Amino acid sequence: MNSDTEIINKTDLLSLHPEELEELVVGLGEPKYRAKQLFAPMHSGTAPEQISNVGKALKAKLADTCVYSLPIIRKKLVSAIDGTVKYLYGLSDGNSVESVVMKYKHGNTICISTQVGCRMGCAFCASTIGGKIRDLEPSEMLGQIIVAAKDIGERISNVVMMGIGEPLDNYDNVIKFLKLVNCEEGLNIGYRHISLSTCGLVDKIQRLAKENFPITLSISLHASDDATRSSIMPVNKKWSIDKLLGACKEYYATTGRRISFEYTLISGKNDNRDSALRLAEILNKALRSHTDTMPIHVNLIPVNPVSETAFSSSERKTVEDFAATLERKGIRATVRRTLGADINASCGQLRREEERRKVT
């Protein structure tokens, strides 16, 4: 949102809560109800200057003091296999991020980005290769949903924050986004239809628990011992598995919301039987007691090979054995269905391709 000084000084309309928008229109000498006339159309993708029941005078004042901007679709790929749609979006300052829309029987789910790049440094992930460029504004997270819904001509009913970036590293903007996307007058997506995935920023998980949103928290675990996890996820050097699972237990105790765990299977690294047994043991030990029966769900994801990294995906049989070992120990395990396999739908890969092209 800050491509030039003009924009820096302007108010980002799509990042405002309904009450903030009211304050703004009142400050511009207009009646409060004007805010309602702006909010709903803006959240369905109509710019203020195109809203018919808003007068010329207010439109002029808004144009002088505010900005309304949506991402532009720079590239769109549609999977011939399952209809998954992947977008490379251009932002107002020229940066780009990705979103993926997956079509399920129960509705459309969008996977959105929360930062331009990422500074978490996970060894297998394409999003982190060039580091973090900047955080996304709440409006830029909403914009990914608004533009995709308009483009497919259908409602998007579920959101997963699993695209580029670490959502809890952009905490305040993500919280604001969550409240906005849940607004009845806006996209009206229920908290129960939203998942937030994190690599494990323990202090922020503790803060999020206190907000008490009924969203689903998803933890990217990817290893069952500290040495292995630290070797692929630098965040583990700051917050060990023990501390992370402690925060998960606390989160569940405060919110009553089940947590799901992501486990990316990397051949020869974290996919043997001992890893699976240890995973079941640490999860059961940290999260279950005789008084507490938190359902534990592990989502197994065969690693998506990224050309800059040397990791390769586990054999199908290894994945099945891993899942069976977890199940035998009372842990629900599912293997992530690969959607959009023909369009490189794993996060960060499209933006990475673009960055590579800029260099060569």
Smallest distance from the beta carbon of 80 to ligand SAH, in angstroms?
Answer: 22
Helix axes 273-287, 316-328, angle to 10 degrees: 30
Smallest distance from the beta carbon of 204 to ligand SAH, in angstroms?
Answer: 12
DSSP-assigned letter for residue 316 = H
Give the tokens for residue 35: 């805010």
Give the tokens for residue 85: 């749609």
Q: Do the Cβ atoms of 322 and 276 come closer than 8 Å?
A: yes
CA 63 from chain center: how many Å? 31
Q: Do the Cβ atoms of 267 and 312 come closer than 8 Å?
A: yes
Which residues here bind ligand SAH, judged by CB under 6 A? Answer: 122, 124-125, 162, 166, 197-199, 220, 262, 264, 301, 303-304, 306, 346-347
Q: Which of 22, 30, 66, 98 is catalytic?
A: 98
A 10 A CB-CB count for 172 gives 9
Q: Which is nearer to ligand SAH, 69 or 109 (CB)?
A: 109
Q: Do the Cβ atoms of 93 and 101 come closer than 8 Å?
A: no
Residue 32 Cα distances to 23, 38, 198, 227, angstroms = 8, 11, 39, 57
Pairing of strands 96-104, 107-111: antiparallel
Closest by CA to 341, choosing from 96, 81, 3, is 81
Active-site residue flag, 122? no
Active-site residue flag, 98? yes
- Residue numbers annotated as active site: 98, 347
